[in-house]
Structure 1
Amino acid sequence: MSRDESLGVWLLAIGQTAGFAALVYMFGAIILSLEDGSGWSRAELALGPTVALVTQAVLAPFSGRLVDQGFGGTLLGGAAVLGGLCLALLSQVEALWLWYALWIVIGVAQAASLYETCFSFLTRRLGPEARRGIIRVTLVAGFASTFAFPLGAWTGAALGWRGAILVFAAVELLVTLPANLLGVRLMRRGARRGGLMVATPRGAVRAVLRKPEFWALAGFFGLLMGNHMMLTTFALPILAERGATAAVAVLVASTVGPMQVAGRVLLMLGGARIQAGTAARAIAIGMSLASLALLIATGQSGLFLLYAVCQGASIGVQSILRPLLTAETLGQENFGAMSGALAMAPLTASAAAPFLGALLIGAGGVTLLLSVTLVFALGAFGLALWLRARGI
């Protein structure tokens, strides 16, 4: 990897950090001020990020194919503009239908600018060296929630939910956009090592869909992301109900980010000694322990810390594991289209999570939601055991 490419990777990492903070974590970070000031119910509000993530899931295969055809840089830059403008408009909405409409467009920005597009772009540019680039991006982007939750708590209290969303719009336009544009420019100074840019061959994705390993991976990552997005979206009300003060709740939610980085560092230090299948089983166990810790918590700081460590480290490893395990299990040919198709499962689960979480809390309280997240994590562990029997 050349010096320009290395710098480009770090800039894309900054872009992913700010992009996730503004487009994904923003809602959970300001949910309390939203509920207090908007006049809409938790379920009505949560349907917004749900439709965004549904849109992202539907468009993921198409963004992957566009990356394969050489439009990755255009997507990363254009989507940052689109996302920032939509957030600015979102801060001014008065009608619920417009809230939903803008979240749909935000979903387009998510599909075109977040991990799947970035990782596919790095794979196309760097080829076999993409692993190092992907790990660097995820190490930095793990701090997205650490950045988003304190910023959301402070701006929500000081400026109200409208002012808070405007601040996140500024983050998207003033940080994500220039970081992505300059990062892409520097990456393109190096020779492309990921193969020719061609349209995805007819039937290529269909062939992958016939493999049972594809569906096992889809279910595994889908269950983990459904678990994580429910816990992330409602982290503040969950922790408050479990006995945490407002300050402790923000601190715990913010700690998940550094723990993501810690998990990724441990995976890097382990190197080839840690097999992908072993890591998959370990993170499913870790996320099961995280849900269990919150399920039995009644204000104990130790259990809150256990949740942050286990959830953060596990989901951090998951984000590295997904592209690497996909390439190792299904191959690198047509990687953009293939990873886009696989991403539909975790993206769909992520999409359903905010609205499903709101319904679960309404039906049976936080206890019911945490019971479901525990079942999701245990289901993922079961799939990891099945993959082990297949030699993965």
Structure 2
Amino acid sequence: MIRRRTVLCLGLAQLVSWGTTYYLIGGFGPRIIAETGWSQTLVHGGFSAALLGMGLSSAWIGRLIDRHGGRAVMTAGSLLSALGCIGLALARDPVSYYAAWLVLGVAMRCTLYDAAFAALARIGGAEARRPMAQITLLGGLASTAFWPIGESLAGAFGWRGAVLAYAGFALLTIPLHLTLPAGHDGGRERSTAAAAPLAGGRRQPWIAGALYALIVTLTNILNAGMSAHMIGILAGLGLAAPVAVWIATLRGIGQSGARLAEVMFGGGLSPPALTLAAAALLPVCFVAGLWGGQVPTAAIAFAFLYGAGNGLLTITRGTLPLVLFDPGRYGAIAGRLLVPGFLGSAAAPVVYAAVIERWGEAAALWLSAALAAVTLAAAAALCATARAAPDSAALR
């Protein structure tokens, strides 16, 4: 049984953790470039280094959560988040700048959704689907809350002072993570008994695993690219910088709005079907974004619909393993399958920066639309695979 207090505290921790780490570069990137004189590629390469750190540590941290639970791992992640923010605020050269981002990368793997999902799966097994969706309601507002907060702090204290304040916010998540149960809780036994995961002979579980990894990889690439560059893309298309910031915050509203709808009305929709519905929104939003500079409504649709699609895909990233694989080994299996996504997304901020510098913001949106189309095709294939093997055993 997962307590409501645990879900609420974990949701609040997600709000702060995402806002102070993953969305940091999207808010402060232009200020860092202006102050340091470093290139856009070098500055956003720090975020890529963090995502690389997430990928390299993913399988190990997944196993740690399976073995010890989320309480110890996520609390340690809070401390690492604060340490990384302090290091970033003090960085005066690229070496120390990248070192701080590597610390933040490990911290993100310990504190963000994938760690929280594994912690909930360990507690509640197959019953963790609804709590997984619930914690994303607050986490989805991270960009909406922290991009304006960061802009205000940076205006008053500079980006370095703002990042130091972020270190303080990160420390505030420690008591929230301590609400998770400590030690072994029996969730592993309950989850294995309660689940009816997919397989079907020898091929289906591996096909499902490959499709799951592909969907996660492409959505992570898009998420990393948009987190780092959405504001810059909107501004480059012709919107004034303050307008671009506020329209970009609609992404968070779209995320949480779609997640709220899923929590309230999506219980009858299977995770593969929800994945397909969410993936269908992505090509539409990027095509709409191409007219964002001339038609403000199109820019609003771009940010809001991207947030809605990405928000639902974040939920299914956590709930798909509950129905596709063995919930008793959730952390280890998901941790392994998430590695390509983290490694792929590590290149996204730099690749997007290079595309924008060479061909412009519209080219970045066309690239995103192409990746979204492949994601939609993979989601359709996953639905077909799930329908073909409804009564199979878990991936081992």
Q: Is TM > 0.5 for Structure 1 vs Structure 2?
A: yes
**Moved runs in structure 1, 4+ residues, more than 3 A?**
187-192, 207-210
The CA deviation at 1:69 is: 0.8
Preserved CA contact (<8 Å) 1:37 1:160: no
Preserved CA contact (<8 Å) 2:150 2:162: yes
Match of 1:201 in 2: none
- Provide the secondary structure at the position in 2 that maps to 1:321: helix
Provide the rounded CA distance (Å) in 1 between the counterparts of 2:214 and 2:78: 30
One-letter identity of the residue aligned with 1:139: L
Preserved CA contact (<8 Å) 1:33 1:157: no
Preserved CA contact (<8 Å) 1:242 1:298: yes
After superposition, residues 2-17 of structure 1 pair within 5 angstroms as: 5-17=3-15
Cα deviation code 1:281-300 (max 9, x no counterpart):
22222111111111232232
Match of 1:194 among 171, 188, 202: 188
After superposition, residues 83-232 of structure 1 pair within 5 angstroms as: 83-173=81-171, 175-181=172-178, 183-184=179-180, 187-188=181-182, 192-195=186-189, 211-232=206-227
Match of 2:59 in 1: 61
Match of 1:33 in 2: 31
- List alignment gaps of at least 5 residues for structure 1: 198-206
- List alignment gaps of at least 5 residues for structure 2: 192-201, 388-396
Provide the rounded CA distance (Å) in 2 between the counterparts of 1:17 and 1:78: 17
Preserved CA contact (<8 Å) 1:208 1:338: no
Task: Give the CA RMSD over aligned residues.
Answer: 2.1
Match of 1:70 in 2: 68
One-letter identity of the residue aligned with 1:246: A
Preserved CA contact (<8 Å) 1:153 1:250: no
One-letter identity of the residue aligned with 1:137: I
Preserved CA contact (<8 Å) 1:59 1:111: yes
The CA deviation at 1:156 is: 2.2
Provide the rounded CA distance (Å) in 1 between the counterparts of 2:154 and 2:352: 22
Q: Residue 327 in 1 paired to residue 327 in 2?
A: no
Provide the rounded CA distance (Å) in 2 between the counterparts of 1:276 and 1:103: 33
Match of 1:370 among 365, 370, 381: 365
The CA deviation at 1:268 is: 2.4
The CA deviation at 1:190 is: 10
Provide the rounded CA distance (Å) in 2 between the counterparts of 1:91 and 1:171: 14
* TM-score, structure 1 normalization: 0.91
Cα deviation code 1:50-79 (max 9, x no counterpart):
011111011111111111111421111111
Match of 2:260 among 258, 261, 265: 265
Match of 1:204 in 2: none
Match of 1:200 in 2: none
The CA deviation at 1:189 is: 9.9
Match of 1:50 among 28, 48, 51: 48
One-letter identity of the residue aligned with 1:285: A
- Provide the secondary structure at the position in 1 that maps to 2:249: helix
Preserved CA contact (<8 Å) 2:205 2:324: no
Q: Residue 343 in 1 paired to residue 341 in 2?
A: no
Match of 1:305 in 2: 300
Aligned residues: 377
